[in-house]
């Protein structure tokens, strides 16, 4: 190789040499010539030794990487188990609260046989049944999502398909889903607070906290809600207004036929005198011969297994007696996106006062 090196000057060369038991081994060297001294200086390495070092380092990195992924997977798995156990515990706590509340209702019925008290308790029981169904719908998808995510991590870990970024994304998804479950608990807890005092809120929050309770049911029943809400501060019996709105929304849901395009229009306005809430559907309206009886106790157009007639009666009672307002229903023909519809329009009107310090009404 010497003439080649002298001709090229400085260069890398690859050649084979005998090393250990006359094996023919590949060697790579770098040669530099010093013409003035007639010197050639070189340094090189054997390919087999380099491959050994590379393989050793690769194994070390793989072991480190696998250990890291295993640790992450164990942490995620433990967190998921904790979250699932927490969810089960919270579900049990909610059920205990419902059972306790149910017992209190029966005690009240035993102490008082008056007609209004009995109707009020039955209304609460009906609302509780609706809420339990809504909780099941709200929790089913998030819990399924958490289970699927953790199972996916486990399978990918077993087949060495798990990537670091995927672990992080799945962790964030589980955390976000858990926060959603926690928010759902808060929403239902607030709804069942026996709060008869007026509180400060706003029209947007009033709607959002109400709709959260039935949103999943509406998805299942293919119901589209179109809202037109004017943002205003309010100081009223917010929890009771939400209960009335929820009764009307559930009543509309029960009137729909799943094969049709189901629509609900919600309009909320407030001026110096009144808060007005309009909830209108496209379910065909209330038959003319029945519309004057719709707020009577025990009157219902549904099958006995689906309704008791208490909901709308108690809704009207709450608005009229507790808030000195009115709840009316009208059949209305209207056009939406070029299509003519007919539906029932429930209009809630509640007197308001600008100075809450002067508001001495007792619910």
Whether pLDDT at 187 is above 70? no
CA distance 227 to 230: 10
The answer to whether residue 141 sits within a structural domain is yes
Residues 40, 61, single domain; the answer is no
Please give the helix or strand (H or E) that residue 45 lies within, else none: strand 39-46
Query: Of 159, 191, 223, which residue sits at a domain end?
Result: 191
Distances (CA, A) of 295 to 264, 298, 308, 309, 319: 20, 9, 12, 8, 12
Residue 182 φ then ψ, to 5°: -65, -40
- Domain-embedded: residue 70: yes
Do 63 and 38 fall into the same domain? Answer: no
Say what the alpha-carbon torsion angle 290, 294, 300, 302 is, to the nearest 10 degrees. Answer: 70
- According to the model, what pLDDT value does residue 113 have? 54
**Predicted local distance difference test score (pLDDT) of residue 325:** 94
Q: For 164-313, list the strands marked E by DSSP.
A: 199-202, 223-229, 233-236, 262-270, 274-281
In a domain, 221, yes or no: yes
Residues 241-251: what's their mean pLDDT?
A: 87
Answer yes or no: do 176 and 240 share one domain.
no
Helix (H), strand (E) at residue 342: strand 339-351
The pLDDT of residue 100 is 86
Domain identity same for 63 and 7: no
Give the separation between CA 322 and CA 195, rounded to whole angstroms.
12
- Residue 56 phi/psi, 5-degree rounding, is -65, -45
Q: With cut-offs at 50, 70 and 90, classify the pLDDT of residue 347.
A: very high
Query: In which band, very low, low, confident or very high, does the pLDDT at 180 lie, cut at 50, 70 and 90?
Result: low
Number of domains in the chain: 3
Burial class (CB in 10 A: 0-12, 13-18, 19+), 47: middle
- Domain membership of residue 90 (yes or no) is yes
Domain boundary among 158, 191, 224: 191
Q: Choose the final residue of a domain: 11, 30, 47.
A: 47
Q: Is residue 163 part of a domain?
A: yes
Given a contact cutoff of 8 angstroms between Cβ atoms, the answer to whether 286 and 294 are in contact is: yes
Collect all residues with Cβ–Cβ distance below 8 Å to 349 and sequence separation of at least 6. 274, 275, 276, 325, 326, 327, 328
Claim to verify: residue 9 and residue 117 sit in the same structural domain: no
Q: The domain containing residue 40 runs over which residues?
A: 2-47
Q: Residues 296-320: pLDDT tens digits?
A: 765 555 544 444 345 787 788 888 8
From CA 167, how far away is CA 157, in angstroms rounded?
A: 10
Whole-number mean pLDDT of the chain?
Answer: 77
Q: Is 225 found in the same domain as 318?
A: yes
Same domain, yes or no, for 58 and 115?
Answer: yes
pLDDT of residue 165: 80
CA distance 265 to 170: 37
> Is 363 inside any structural domain?
no
CA nearest to 14, candidates 32, 31, 2, 26: 26
Q: Count Cβ atoms below 10 Å from residue 317 Cβ, excluding itself.
A: 19
Going by pLDDT thresholds of 50, 70 and 90, the confidence category of residue 281 is: very high
Query: Is residue 150 in some structural domain?
Result: yes
> Directed axis angle between helix 47-111 and helix 115-158, to 10°?
170
- Closest CA relative to residue 320, chosen from 352, 363, 282: 363
Using CA atoms, how far apart are residues 55 and 28, in angstroms rounded to an integer? 18
Pair 82, 43 in one domain: no
- Tell me how far apart the alpha carbons of residues 308 and 126 are, in angstroms, rounded to a whole number: 8
Q: Which residue has the tokens 């699927």?
A: 148
The CATH number given to whatever domain includes residue 349 is 3.30.565.10
Q: What is the 3-state secondary structure (H, E, C) of 232-260?
A: CEEEECHHHHHHHHHHHHHHHHHHCCCCC
pLDDT band at 8 (very low <50, low <70, confident <90, very high): low
Residues 95 and 24 in one domain: no
- The DSSP output letter for 162 is -
Distances (CA, A) of 359 to 130, 191, 288: 33, 23, 39
- Residue 357's pLDDT is what? 42
Query: In this predicted structure, what is the pLDDT of residue 354?
Result: 45
**pLDDT score for 54:** 86
Q: Residue 354: which of 203, 236, 196, 238 has the closest Cα?
A: 236
Tell how strand 39-46 and strand 339-351 pair up. unpaired
- The verdict on residue 292 lying in a domain is yes
- pTM attached to this predicted model: 0.50
Is the domain of 182 the same as that of 215?
no
Quick one: 229 and 131 in the same domain? no
Judgement on whether residues 122 and 249 belong to the same structural domain of the protein: no
pLDDT for residue 110 is more than 50: yes
How many other CB atoms are found less than 10 A from the CB of residue 362? Answer: 6
Q: What is the predicted pLDDT for the residue at 306?
A: 45
Average pLDDT on 209-234 reads 87
In Å, what is the CA distance from 293 to each residue of 100, 246, 288? Answer: 34, 20, 10
């Amino acid at each position: 190789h010497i003439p080649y090196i002298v001709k090229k000057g400085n260069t890398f060369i690859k050649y084979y040499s005998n090393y250990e038991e006359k094996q023919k081994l590949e060697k790579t060297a770098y040669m530099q010539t010093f013409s003035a001294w007639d010197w050639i200086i070189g340094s090189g390495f054997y390919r087999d030794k380099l491959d050994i070092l590379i393989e050793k380092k690769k194994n070390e990195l793989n072991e480190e990487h696998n250990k890291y992924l295993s640790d992450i997977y164990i942490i995620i798995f433990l967190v998921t188990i904790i979250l699932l156990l927490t969810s089960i515990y919270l579900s049990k706590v909610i059920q205990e609260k419902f059972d306790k509340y149910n017992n209190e209702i029966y005690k009240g019925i035993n102490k008082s046989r008056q007609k209004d008290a009995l109707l009020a308790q039955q209304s609460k029981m009906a609302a509780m049944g609706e809420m339990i169904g809504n909780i099941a719908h709200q929790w089913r998808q998030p819990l399924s999502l958490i289970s699927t995510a953790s199972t996916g991590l486990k399978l990918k870990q077993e087949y060495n398909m798990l990537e670091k970024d995927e672990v992080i994304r799945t962790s964030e998804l589980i955390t976000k889903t858990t926060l959603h479950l926690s928010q759902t608990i808060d929403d239902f807890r607030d709804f069942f607070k026996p709060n008869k005092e007026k509180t400060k809120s706003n029209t947007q929050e009033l709607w959002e906290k109400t709709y959260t309770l039935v949103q999943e049911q509406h998805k299942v029943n293919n119901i589209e809600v179109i809202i037109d809400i004017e943002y205003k501060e309010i100081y009223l019996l917010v929890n009771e207004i939400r209960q009335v709105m929820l009764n009307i929304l559930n009543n509309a849901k029960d009137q729909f036929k799943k094969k049709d395009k189901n629509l609900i229009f919600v309009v909320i306005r407030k001026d110096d005198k009144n808060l007005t809430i309009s909830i209108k559907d496209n379910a065909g309206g209330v038959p003319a011969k029945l519309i004057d009886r719709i707020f009577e106790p025990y009157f219902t157009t549904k099958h006995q297994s689906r309704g008791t007639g208490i909901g709308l009666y108690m809704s009207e009672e709450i608005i009229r007696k507790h808030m000195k307002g009115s709840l009316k229903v009208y059949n209305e023909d209207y056009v939406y996106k070029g299509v003519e519809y007919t539906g029932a329009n429930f209009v809630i009107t509640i007197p308001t006062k600008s100075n809450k310090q002067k508001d001495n009404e007792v619910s």
